Amino acid sequence: MIPIAKPLLGDEEKRAVLEVLDSAKLAQGEKVAAFEKAFAQFIGVKHAIATSNGTTALHAAILAHGIGKNDEVITTPFSFIATANAIVMAGATPVFVDIEENSFNINPDLIESAITSKTKAILPVHLFGRPADMDKIMAIAQKHNLIVIEDACQAHGAECLISNANLPTTTKKVGSFGTGCFSFYPTKNMTTGEGGIITTNNDEVAAKLRRIISHGSEKRYHHLHLGYNYRMTDISAAIGLEQLKKLPNFNQKRIENAKYLNQKFQQKGLHSKIIVPELVDGHVFHQYTIRVKTQDEESNNNQSKLTRDILLHQLTAKEIGTGVFYPIPIHKQQAYPHLNHLSFPHTEKAAEEVLSLPVHPGLTNDDLYEVVDAVTLAFKNFEDSAEIKND
C-alpha cells in the first residue's frame, strides 16, 4: 500500500520524546519555548505561540484581533472546514469568495466586491502548500484597513517572491504577511502529533494570544478575560523541534516528487486528460492535486469519460492511496444549512474534479513509478474498452 500521507519520524524524535519523559515535565515548558523560538526564526517573525492544534491556532488568532459578533471575515469555501469553523467559533460570520481555477486559492480579484461595513479581516488559505496571491491580498487589506490572518496549516515553509523596483527579488514565507496559523497534524509537511502555532510580528497580538491559550491569564490564577486551554505539550514540542530541522529537506523532496510526476504524465501523453499542478516557485506541495476534467471543452462528442471517481477506484484497487480534498465545499456542508443555497462555480467544479496523489517525502522511486503507471494504465484500459464498445 502506498499511503497518501505518512509522517517521517526517526531516532531523533524518539530520543527527544524520551528525554521529555525522563524529565517528568510533560506540559508546556522549556521545549515549547525552544520550539516557538525556532519556528519564529524559520518563518521570519518576532513571535510564535504554540497551540494544541491548527484549529485552536485559527480560533485564538481571530479572537486576538478582537474579531467576533457582527464581524465578517472573507475567506475561501474550498478548504478544510476548520477554516470556517474557527470564524464561527469566534462568533463572527464567514463570507466566501470563489477560488482561482489554477491555484485553487481565493481569487483576489473577487475580494473587494465582498467587502461590507462589517468586514474585519481577510483569511486566505495557502491550499495544498501553494501560497495565495499575498501581493494583491495585502494591497486590498491595506486599502480597506483590514486584518489578514493566514491559514498556513498546509504550507510550512512555503514562500512568495517579492519583487521590489530597485532591489533584487527576495522571498517571504507565508505566515509572515499577516497573523499566520499552522497545523502539525501527522499528515502535514511536519508534525508534532497534534499541534499548531501562530506567528506574528505584533507584540500586542502576541501577548493577547498567550492569554487566550491559557484561560486569560498572564499570572497564574489571575484571569483578565475569557480564555481556553489551547496549549501545546513539551512532548509535542520536542518532536516539533526535530521535525523543523528536517522540514527543508522534506519540502525539497515533495517539490522533486511533484516535478517528476508532472514530467512523467506529460511524457505519457496524459496532459490532455488531466490537469497537473503548476510548478510555481515557493509551492511546498502539501498535496499533489490533479484535475480529471469533467467535460471535453474542445469537442462536443458525448463519448463517456474516465471520471475522477473511476480513477480513484482503480488506484485504490491497486493499493495506491489517494485523497479528494475536498469533495464538498464548505458552503454545501450539512453543518452550514443556511449557506447551502450559495454558489461558487469554480469551487464546485474543483470539488468534482480534484484528486490528490501521493507526493510525500517517504515515497521511493518505485512508489512514484507505480503511481504514474497506475494512472496511465487506468486511462489506457478505459479507452480500450470504449473502443470495443464503439466497434
Q: Are 238 and 36 in contact (CB under 8 A)?
A: no
82 lies in the site for ligand PLP, by CB under 6 A: yes
Question: Comparing C-alpha atoms, which of 109, 54, 62 is closest to residue 80?
Answer: 54
Q: Which is nearer to ligand PLP, 83 or 251 (CB)?
A: 83
Number of residues interacting with ligand PLP: please give it, by CB under 6 A: 14
Smallest separation (angstroms) from ligand PLP to the CB of 285: 14
The yes or no reply on residue 185 touching ligand PLP (CB under 6 A) is: yes
Binds ligand PLP by CB under 6 A, chosen from 28, 75, 76, 83: 83
> Which one, of 32, 112, 239, 131, lies nearest residue 122 by Cα?
112
Rounded CA-CA distance 66/107 in Å is: 26
Annotated catalytic residue within 188, 264, 273, 332: 188
CB 310 to ligand PLP: min, Å: 27
Q: What is the dihedral of CA 91, 92, 93, 97, to 10 degrees?
A: -140
80 binds ligand PLP (CB under 6 A): yes
Distance of CA 84 to the CA centre of its chain: 13
Footprint on residues 350-379 left by ligand PLP (CB under 6 A): none
How far, in whole angstroms, is CA 69 from its chain's centroid?
26
Query: Which residues sit opposite 164 in a β-bridge?
Result: 167
Q: Identify the residue among 50, 62, 153, 239 touching ligand PLP (CB under 6 A).
A: 153
Q: How far apart are CA 348 and CA 330, in angstroms?
A: 10
Joined grid coordinates for residue 258: 511533484
65/126 with CB nearer ligand PLP = 126
Rounded CA Rg of the chain: 22
**Of residues 345, 324, 338, the one with CA closest to residue 97:** 345
Q: Which residues contact 288 (CB under 8 A, 6 or more apart)?
A: 128, 254, 257, 258, 261, 277, 356, 357, 358, 359
Which of 13, 100, 151, 370 is close enough to bind ligand PLP by CB under 6 A? Answer: 151
In angstroms, the CA 41 to CA 38 distance is 5
Residue 226: count other Cβ atoms within 10 Å of its Cβ: 10
Piece of 76-84, 342-350, 352-360, 371-379 that binds ligand PLP (CB under 6 A): 76-84
Binding-site member from 5, 20, 36, 55 for ligand PLP (CB under 6 A): 55
Residue from 106, 122, 123, 125 binding ligand PLP (CB under 6 A): 125
* Site for ligand PLP contains 53 (CB under 6 A): yes
Residue 80 vs 177, nearer CB to ligand PLP: 80
User: Among 147-155, 250-258, 289-297, 338-346, which window interacts with ligand PLP (CB under 6 A)?
Assistant: 147-155
Q: Does 196 bind ligand PLP (CB under 6 A)?
A: yes
The residue whose Cβ lies closest to ligand PLP is 54
Clarify whether 120 is annotated catalytic: no
Q: Which is nearer to ligand PLP, 142 or 229 (CB)?
A: 229
Taking CB under 6 A as the rule, does residue 79 contact ligand PLP? yes
- 195 or 282: CB nearest ligand PLP: 195
Q: Which is nearer to ligand PLP, 53 or 119 (CB)?
A: 53
- The torsion of the CA quartet 173, 250, 285, 366, rounded to 10 degrees, works out to 170
CB of 163 to ligand PLP, least distance (A): 27
Nearer to ligand PLP by C-beta: 330 or 374?
A: 330
105, 154, 191, 314: which one binds ligand PLP (CB under 6 A): 154
Rule CB under 6 A: say whether 183 interacts with ligand PLP.
Answer: yes
Sequential DSSP letters for 284-315 = --SSEEEEE-SS-SS---------HHHHHHHH
- Residue 27 has a CB neighbour count (10 Å cut-off) of 10
- Indicate which residues carry an active-site annotation: 188
* Binding-site ranges for ligand PLP (CB under 6 A): 53-55, 79-80, 82-83, 125, 151, 153-154, 183, 185, 196
